[in-house]
Amino acid sequence: MTAQRAMTEIDNVPHAKHAPRRASTARICVVQYEVRRVGTFGDFARQCEYFTDVASDYKADFVLFPELLTAQRVSLVKAPRPGLAARKISEFTKRYLDLFTGLAIRYNVNIIGGSHFTHEGEKLHNVSYLSYLFRRDGTLAKQYKMHITPNERRWWGVAPGDPLEVFDTDRGKIAILIDCDVEFPELARIAAGKGARILFVPFDTDSRYGYLRVRSCAQARCVENHVYAAIAGCVGTLSLVENADIHYAQSGIYTPSDIQFSRDMVAVECSPNVETVIVHEVDIDLLRRHRETGTVQKMTRPSPPPPTSQPSCRNGQSHGGPAGERDPVHPPVDR
């Protein structure tokens, strides 16, 4: 009787409602993707599904694909000029969205789907769908590329977009900075101020010089903002594809520079210029502690100090408005 009574009391203990446990870690899979000519959309889809399956096998929370992932589909379209070819690629947008939304659900992983040319109204944008963000719960978000390179504007007629988004995921807040967006400190600073702890950087560069700009700046953003940064680029060649014919990358995951983190700020890095994947688990709680106890604390000044003199471009003209004021979100590109 006593035993039965005790068991009854245990069975009827009311269950307390606990708040959702905050994410303490996030496992990231970075895809260093080899572009290749494809005969059908199915060829492209099978390659993307393969890498998503690999990420799922390693129980990744995120898988990051490179910028202009869909540019290889130019081999499926016929157009007399690069700008027209880019606009024809945008006709695949619905199939691209359906593909990655399905993969995110089927393989239970949040996918940053590189980036894709998207024609909206009269403008062609380079859009990353959570870069398009495909969440594993089936929802979708997107981030526009905000700083367009001269070659993107010249060859394809790409227009910059906005705003900068910070995305809620089941592993905490993240931001997507496409390629050279990571080269401007303001964007990462705004994202970190809104709670982003991981910066995902899909990029596409044709030389080691361009790659090092992305890598070095991603590492700088880690130091400045106490965040992690994952970068993913394309490798390989696409013959006869203007402005996307050669590619160079050494993708990786980077950390702040302090005793608690990896040596040289490199959590893990690919071998250069070969198709492969890397997987690493980052510690979100460690970032929280580092922001409070790290060797160098995050600066508390709410905004940069005003310029002491009027900055100038190469041609002697000032940036921005009166007295050389700078736009904090859309800084000038002088490259």
pLDDT of residue 305: 53
Q: Long-range CB contacts (< 8 A, 24+ apart) of 239-247? A: 239/37, 241/71, 241/74, 241/75, 242/82, 242/155, 243/82, 243/151, 243/152, 243/155, 243/156, 244/35, 244/68, 244/71, 244/74, 244/204, 245/206, 246/206, 247/35, 247/204, 247/205, 247/206
Average pLDDT, the chain: 81
Instruction: Report how far Cα 246 is from the mean position of its chain's Cα atoms.
Output: 21
Cβ atoms of 307 and 321 within 8 Å: the answer is no
pLDDT of residue 132: 58
Which residue type sits at 255?
T
CA distance 206 to 209: 8
Q: Return the percentage of the chain with pLDDT > 70, whole number.
A: 78
pLDDT of residue 102: 94
Q: Return the percentage of the chain with pLDDT > 90, whole number.
A: 51
pLDDT of residue 14: 43
pLDDT of residue 159: 85
**pLDDT classification of 329: cutoffs 50, 70, 90:** very low
DSSP secondary-structure letter at 152? I
Domains of the chain: 25-300 (3.60.110.10), 304-335 (no CATH)
pLDDT top residue among 132 and 317: 132
Read off the pLDDT of residues 186-228 as tens digits, 9 standing for 90 and up.
999 999 999 999 999 999 999 999 999 999 999 999 999 999 9
Read off the pLDDT of residues 95-122 as tens digits, 9 standing for 90 and up.
999 999 999 999 999 999 998 888 777 7
